[in-house]
Chain A
Amino acid sequence: MTINWEAFTPWSSLGGGVVIGLAVAALLLLNGKIAGISGVLGGLLRPRSGDFLWRAAFVLGLVAASWIYRLIGPLPALYIESNYFILSVAGVLVGLGTRYGSGCTSGHGVCGLSRLSIRSSVATMIFMTTGFATVYVVRHLVLR
C-alpha cells in the first residue's frame, strides 16, 4: 500500500468530521433523532403525520449547504468519474441497500459507532469492506 500524501487533507477532514459530529449531537439532543441520512430521507417516502416536516427540513438543509458554503469561499472540487449508467445502477443499490440494511455511513457509521452498537459496527465493516472490494475490482481488474 502506498499513501498519496498530496491528496491527504488531515486538518480539513478532521475538522469536517468534528462539524458532522456536532450536527449529529445537535439532532440527537435537540430533536431526539438519529442523524442517519438514508433513514431520514427514506422516511419521507412513507410519510406519517407529524413526521414529515423535520425530515424535509433536514434534507433541505443538506441540499442547501453548498449555497451557504459558497458565500464563505469557493466550493471544493466535486469530480464525478462514473458515467450515467454506472451512477444509475449505483444509486439504486445505495437506495435499496441502505433501506434494507437500515443505515448508511451516517446512521451505522457515525451514529452507530458513537453509541458502540455491535449491529452498526458489523454493518459498517461490511459496507466498508464491500466498498474497498468494489473499487479494487473496478480499478485494478476491470479497468486495468
Chain B
Amino acid sequence: MLALSALCVGLIFGLGLLLGGMTDPAKVLGFLDLAGGWDPSLALVMGGAVSVGVLAFTFAKRRTQSLLGAPLHLPTARQVDRRLVLGSIAFGVGWGLAGFCPGPALVALGTGAPKAVVFVIAMLVGMRLFEILERGLK
C-alpha cells in the first residue's frame, strides 16, 4: 500500500515538474540567468508548491502517524554547519552548469534523452561517492 501510494505520488510530482517547466534545462537556466533576459516562471513553481506545502506541514506537525498508519517523523536537524553550506554550494554549481536538479533529471531520464541519461548516471556516481566517503567501501 505504501509502495503504491509512493508510486502515484512520484507520478504526480513528475507531472507537476513537467507542467511547471522545471524539466527543461533551458528554462531553468533562463531563470538562473539574472543578467540575461530573465524568466521568472520558476519562482512561481516554488511559490505554488510552498503555498500548498505550508498547509500540509501545519497539519502534519500535530500527527505522529500518517493516514496509512506509517510513522510520521519530521526532520529534526536544525544546525547550519559546514556540510550543509559546502554541499549546497556544490549542488548550486552543478545546477547552474546543467540546469538539472535531481527531480527533473529523473523525469527527463524517462523521456530517454541521451544527455539526461548521462546526467543521471553522473549524479548517481556523485551520490555513491558520498556513501563511500561517509562509510568506506562496502
Q: Which residues of B contact A (CB under 8 A)?
A: 2-27, 29-30, 32-42, 44-57, 59-61, 65-68, 70-75, 77-80, 83-103, 105-111, 113, 115-116, 118-131, 135
Contact = CB atoms under 8 A, between A and B. Distances in A.
Contacts of A80: 25-26, 98-100, 108, 113, 115-116, 119
A105 B29 contact: no
A57 to B, nearest CB: 4
A79 B98 CA distance: 11
A14 B92 contact: no
Given A77-B24, A99-B127, A106 B16 contact: no
Among A13, A79, A81, chain B packs the most CB atoms within 10 A around the CB of A13
Contacts of B130: 42, 95-96, 99-100
Contacts of B27: 7, 77
Interface in A12-52: 12-35, 37-38, 41-42, 45-46
Nearest to B114: A84
A4 B46 CA distance: 19
Nearest to B73: A32
A31 B2 contact: yes
A94 B96 contact: no
A18 B49 contact: yes
Interface of A: 1-4, 7-10, 12-35, 37-38, 41-42, 45-46, 53-69, 75-82, 84, 86-102, 104-106, 108-111, 113-119, 122-124, 126-136, 138-140
Nearest to A50: B2
